């Protein structure tokens, strides 16, 4: 019991210190949490307790709920550019697997490198005060659309890897379609209820509620979504992601309530996932110059995967700084890149060594590219708000 309590305290204490260090170093705290997990479980502690794996999975599910809650369907629709935002990420999902297969690496690595996540994009845009500018809204729109596509691609791959091109796979796709249909129906129903009974919405959102009824409901919805997806035969992260999308659409003015959701996630649950990813990382990979160089090469391919679809925009007269800035920020999909590696290893499409190299790539990209993006911020701010 004492040993398990020491493990818990060390993980929680480290997770508390990482954001402080991240602010000083201007890097994502999740990247430092991965590094901390790698150091902690490979030098100080010699094994992971059974409960740690459970908390790691819970952290992943809640992380995807937060990712879904960041996806504003209303913003995508009202922008008038939803189709463009959806089309930009698609070429990478076709080209990158071919490129990786051509150079002798698993095609699934190409899928992982095509991933886009809004997890780092949103805080960097907020810190840079670019969300009020057209270029900032465009970056956010592509990030949100790319995140949605990335989740769906991972889910489809999981289905076809399990069942192949069989009638069973078709049945699972129908289950997935039914799940998405039910999610859409729930979204519409809850939206109508919220419109007809705004007092109930206000009660859920009330920040001074001592029993935190709203937070208990939200956490229940997040994990219920994961359970529903599991029952439908797909990865729980899709269900929690869709639950987050529904929550975001129904409760459009979240205010301080959103801060509470993020506090529960980033303050307690999600660090277990990122620390757990670092714990599973093999430090021997860092002693191999070839592996480190390959990780840097994959980081370069990660950036190329984001820049190539943007070249037509540059050819049509969009400023080079905007194209480069969007590419740099989208090339830091830390959360989804790590999730893709975790699922790839679980599906048997990546070895533990390649998954470790992908984690190393994710950490390098999520530190390097946002730092380079900050150098472009003054030029991007030359754009005038609408």
Q: What is the pLDDT confidence band of residue 271, given thresholds at 50, 70 and 90? A: confident
Give the residue with greater pLDDT, 80 vs 244: 244
- Statement: residue 385 has pLDDT above 60: no
pLDDT at residue 1 tops 70: no
Question: What is the mean pLDDT of the segment spanning 165-177?
Answer: 77
In this structure, what token pair is assigned to residue 226? Answer: 């994961």
- pLDDT of 372 above 50: yes
Average pLDDT rounded to a whole number, residues 218-225: 82
Mean pLDDT value across residues 194-223: 66
What percentage of the chain has pLDDT greater than the value 90? 6
Give pLDDT, residue 110. 92
Lowest-pLDDT range of 206-210, 260-264, 344-348: 206-210
Neighbour tally for 243: CB within 10 Å: 27
- pLDDT at residue 340 greater than cutoff 70: yes
Task: Spell out the domain ranges in the chain.
Answer: 2-380
Q: Binning pLDDT at 50, 70 and 90, where does residue 204 land? A: low
**Average confidence (pLDDT) over 204-232:** 72
* Rounded CA separation 311/232 (Å): 39
Looking at the predicted structure, is the pLDDT value of residue 151 above 90? no
Average pLDDT for 110-118: 89
Say yes or no to pLDDT of 254 above 70.
no
Give the number of other Cβ atoms within 10 Å of residue 58's Cβ.
18
Q: Residue 386: what pLDDT?
A: 45
pLDDT attached to residue 29: 80
Question: Model confidence at 197, in pLDDT bands (50, 70, 90)?
Answer: low
pLDDT of residue 217: 76
Between 318 and 285, whose confidence is greater?
Answer: 285
pLDDT surpasses 90 at 108: yes
Q: What are the angstrom distances between the C-alpha of 345 and each of 108, 118, 332?
A: 10, 23, 21
Three-state SS letters, 296-348: HHHHHHHHHHHHHHHHHHHHCCCCHHHHHHHHHHHCCCHHHHHHHHHHHHHHC
**Cα(6)–Cα(45) distance, integer angstroms:** 10
The pLDDT score that the predictor gives to residue 98 is 93
pLDDT digit string (tens) for 83-102?
788 888 888 999 999 999 99
CATH 1.20.1530.20 is the classification of domain 2-380? yes
DSSP letter (8 states) at residue 235: -
- Match 């398990």 to its residue by tokens: 4
């Amino acid at each position: 019991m004492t040993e398990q309590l020491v493990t818990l305290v060390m993980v929680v204490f480290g997770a508390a210190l990482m954001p402080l260090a991240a602010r000083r170093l201007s890097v994502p705290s999740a990247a430092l949490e991965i590094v901390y997990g790698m150091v902690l479980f490979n030098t100080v502690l010699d094994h992971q307790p059974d409960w740690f794996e459970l908390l790691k999975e819970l952290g992943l599910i809640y992380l995807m709920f937060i990712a879904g809650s960041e996806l504003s369907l209303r913003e995508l629709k009202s922008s008038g550019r939803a189709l463009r935002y959806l089309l930009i990420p698609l070429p990478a999902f076709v080209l990158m697997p071919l490129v990786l297969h051509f150079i002798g690496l698993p095609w699934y690595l190409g899928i992982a490198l095509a991933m886009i996540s809004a997890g780092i994009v949103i805080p960097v845009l907020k810190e840079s005060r670019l969300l009020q500018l057209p270029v900032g809204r465009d970056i956010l729109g592509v990030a949100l659309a790319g995140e949605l596509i990335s989740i769906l691609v991972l889910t489809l791959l999981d289905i076809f890897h399990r069942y192949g091109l069989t009638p069973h796979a078709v049945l699972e796709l129908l289950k997935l379609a039914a799940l998405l249909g039910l999610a859409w129906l729930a979204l519409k129903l809850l939206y109508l209820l919220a419109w007809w009974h705004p007092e109930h919405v206000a009660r859920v959102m009330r920040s001074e509620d001592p029993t935190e009824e709203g937070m208990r409901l939200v956490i229940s919805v997040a994990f219920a979504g994961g359970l529903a997806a599991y029952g439908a035969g797909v990865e729980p992260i899709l269900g929690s992601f869709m639950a987050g999308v529904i929550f975001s659409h129904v409760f459009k003015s979240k205010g301080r309530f959103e801060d509470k959701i993020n506090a529960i996630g980033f303050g307690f649950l999600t660090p277990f996932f990122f620390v757990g990813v670092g714990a599973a990382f093999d430090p021997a990979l860092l002693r191999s110059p070839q592996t480190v160089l390959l990780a840097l090469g994959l980081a370069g391919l990660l950036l190329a995967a984001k820049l190539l679809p943007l070249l037509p925009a540059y050819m049509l007269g969009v400023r080079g700084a905007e194209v480069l800035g969007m590419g740099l920020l989208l090339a830091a999909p830390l959360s989804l890149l790590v999730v893709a590696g975790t699922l790839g290893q679980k599906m048997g499409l990546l070895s533990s060594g390649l998954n470790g190299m992908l984690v190393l790539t994710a950490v390098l990209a999520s530190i390097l590219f946002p730092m380079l993006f900050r150098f472009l911020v003054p030029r991007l701010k030359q754009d005038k708000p609408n």
